[in-house]
Amino acid sequence: MEKKTKAVKRTDLKQKETYHHSIGQTIRYLSHYMHGYWKDTIITWCAVLIESICEVLVVYFMQDLIDSVQNLGTSNSLNSVYLYAGIMALCALVAVGAGIVAGIFAASASAGFGKNLREAMFVHIQDYSFRNIDKFSTSSIVTRTTTDVTNVQNAVLMIIRAVVRAPFLMIIALIMCFITDWKLAWIFVILIPIVLFALMGLAKVVHPYFVKVFNTYDALNESVEENVDGIRVVKSFNREDDQIHRFKGVSDLIYRCFFRTESIINFNSPIMQGSVYTAELLIAYFASYQIVQHHPVSFDGSVMNVGKLSTLITYIMLIMMSLMLISMVYTMIIVGRNSSERIVEILEEKPEIVSPSEPLMNVPNGEVDFEDVSYAYVKGKPVLNHINVKVPSGATIGILGPTGSSKTTLVSLIARLYDVNEGQVLVGGHNVKDYDLKVLRDAVAVVLQKNTLFTGTIRDNLKWGNENATDEEIQKACDVAQVTPFLKDMPQGLDTQISQGGTNVSGGQKQRLCIARALLKNPKILILDDSTSACDTHTDALIREGLQHERTDVTKFIIAQRVLSVKDCDEIWVMNEGHIVDRGNSETLMKTSQVYRELYESQLGGGDFDASK
């Protein structure tokens, strides 16, 4: 129960989001993504127009047909019955054909629009910095590029046809009503605004529930994504019940919102039916009164008759149909608005980290210089405070510190994964912000703490580091990263398939593959963020040894939990709460740093064994 209210509360919070754009602005913004499909849209509109004209003609000739049937006693009248029936059949045929054409092209236009939108979002997301991604959360980005785009695409599919059909049918039917019998047409003039007003009112009532539904979708997806992504953890902690409970809470909220929305939308039908019957009754009453009385009712002295009456009733149906279409479009706009706004937010998000206009295209060496660097993820809560430290090119730096001491944050600044708030980070003597982003990130290889392999062969994955890497280079990187020993045991060697997320290799093997991938970039700076944590100490030592001998000119940052992993570094930084509290080589730190000495003694206590063995 507690979890349930938590989920509900979170969505309530999101409720307070306000729209950045008016409906008109959003439509205009999104209409750009019709490019390449305007032709289909225009063909749809033409076809819909033909369809609607034919439909009205069918009704129009119906009156003549009925009149001819009534006058069957006189000569030639059977011929005119055939004529009108023929014309009507032809019109109906054309209407059906045009309807099919309209359906096909509307589908193409809306699907093309969805495709453009999805692609534009995906391309744009590639430019996002880590901070941009933090802002939306991964699951929300996924919902927005999938569910939300599908919503808008479906809305476009319906709107594209209705937007021409509804007003056309309405206007033509009204005109025809006036032509057929102007004195009875007033019934519509009164009825239409009332119905429209009722429908709009309905849509307004429903709106907040729709907003709630779509916001809750984010929570739902987050729940599913987190659960499936972490299914192994969930199972090992026996948390299935808790997860199911959490999911049910969100799912239940969606059920209630949908139930509410659909119940309210259901009133659509009685409003429509009620108005149709009212109009029919009124017209039937007045018309039959006149028919019985044989009162001339038009200026031209024409008389109300059964043909006119049935035509009028068919026009009522046409007008009501167009009203229904209008109310549907209105509902679609309301449903689509929330999704549209969420899509526009993704597209309008400014990538925070971009290359400068005249970038440096070469990183001269691996020197790194932090000058008075501070950083905060959340305003007012700095996680790095005035860091001043210089690392010569080719040095090996070890970083120790408890979790949360900002080790990852500090090294992330070197590759501009985040931008400093204060001070500057220099690489090769230049501010990182002066480099072309691609050039900088090619020179700074980061093996992230939370790493990912992609679906494909091991070779494909390694080539991410360098597309043009030769087999020889790959072999060498695999030797240094200690991939070779386990690669030998794999039946297809480098061509072994990695399954999604790299679940078919062990944690340590995955880490070693990630290191090999980074080495293939031939970086000037190599950052290993806890990258050998899942490897045994022996492998760990072999990797370090390999790096030291094979990549002497590369500046290396090794973040580790084990003292053993950093013991032989040129310099070790001990970090705590966003500060480098102690610096020096192992020997110095044993004398000067109490934290280091305690760590050393607890981990390597007593034994003076050689790390490299």
Which is nearer to ligand ADP, 261 or 412 (by Cβ)? Answer: 412
DSSP 303: B
Residue 384 pairs with which residues in a beta bridge? 375
CA distances from 83 to 55, 309, 438 (A): 17, 21, 75
Question: Is residue 336 close enough to count as binding ligand ADP by CB under 6 A?
Answer: no
Task: Tell me the C-alpha distance between 251 and 263, whole Å.
Answer: 18
Task: Tell me the C-alpha distance between 277 and 604, whole Å.
Answer: 90
- Rounded to a whole number of angstroms, the minimum distance from the CB of residue 229 to ligand ADP is 17
- Rounded to a whole number of angstroms, the minimum distance from the CB of residue 134 to ligand ADP is 5
Q: Would you put residue 526 in left (φ > 0), alpha (ψ -120 to 50) or beta?
A: beta
Q: Give residues 395-454 in contact with ligand ADP (rule: CB under 6 A).
A: 401, 403-409
Residue 430 pairs with which residues in a beta bridge? 427
Residue type (1 letter), 524: K
| Contact partner at residue 328 from ligand ADP, Mg ion, none, CB < 5 to 8 Å by partner kind | none
| Contact partner at residue 404 from Mg ion, ligand ADP, none, CB < 5 to 8 Å by partner kind | ligand ADP
- Rounded to a whole number of angstroms, the minimum distance from the CB of residue 449 to Mg ion is 5
Residue nearest to Mg ion (CB): 408
Q: Kindly give the residue spans of alpha helices, DSSP state H, lying in 127-185.
A: 130-136, 138-143, 149-181
Number of residues that bind Mg ion (CB under 5 A): 2
| Contact partner at residue 383 from Mg ion, ligand ADP, none, CB < 5 to 8 Å by partner kind | ligand ADP
Q: Which of 29, 258, 377, 486 touches ligand ADP by CB under 6 A? A: 377
**CB-based contacts of 494, cutoff 8 Å, min separation 6:** 457, 458, 459, 462, 471, 474, 487
- Rounded to a whole number of angstroms, the minimum distance from the CB of residue 401 to ligand ADP is 6
- What DSSP line would sit under 519-549, residue for residue? HTT--SEEEEESTTTTS-HHHHHHHHHHHHH
- Rounded to a whole number of angstroms, the minimum distance from the CB of residue 380 to ligand ADP is 13
- Rounded to a whole number of angstroms, the minimum distance from the CB of residue 130 to ligand ADP is 7
Task: Tell me the C-alpha distance between 21 and 342, whole Å.
Answer: 11
| Phi and psi angles of residue 226, each rounded to the nearest 5 degrees, phi first | -65, -40
Q: Which of 383, 426, 439, 490 touches ligand ADP by CB under 6 A? A: 383
Q: Is 16 helix (H, G, I), strand (E, B) or coil?
A: coil
Which is nearer to ligand ADP, 151 or 412 (by Cβ)? Answer: 412
Q: Give residues 398-417 in contact with Mg ion (rule: CB under 5 A).
A: 408
- Rounded to a whole number of angstroms, the minimum distance from the CB of residue 525 to Mg ion is 17
- What DSSP line would sit under 454-517, residue for residue? -SEEHHHHHHTT-TT--HHHHHHHHHHTT-HHHHTTSTTGGGPEEPGGGTTS-HHHHHHHHHHH
Q: How far is CA 195 from the centre of its chain?
A: 37
User: Is 446:411 a contact under the CB 8 Å cutoff?
Assistant: yes
- Rounded to a whole number of angstroms, the minimum distance from the CB of residue 242 to ligand ADP is 23
Compute the half-sphere exposure of residue 544: CA atoms within 13 Å on the CB side of its CA: 29
Binding mask 414-453 for Mg ion (x = CB under 5 A): -----------------------------------x----
- Rounded to a whole number of angstroms, the minimum distance from the CB of residue 385 to ligand ADP is 12
| Contact partner at residue 401 from Mg ion, ligand ADP, none, CB < 5 to 8 Å by partner kind | ligand ADP
Question: Is residue 565 close enough to count as binding Mg ion by CB under 5 A?
Answer: no
Binding mask 519-558 for Mg ion (x = CB under 5 A): ----------------------------------------
Which is nearer to ligand ADP, 394 or 423 (by Cβ)? Answer: 423
Which is nearer to ligand ADP, 494 or 575 (by Cβ)? Answer: 575
The contact set with Mg ion (CB under 5 A) reads 408, 449
The contact set with ligand ADP (CB under 6 A) reads 134, 377, 383, 401, 403-409
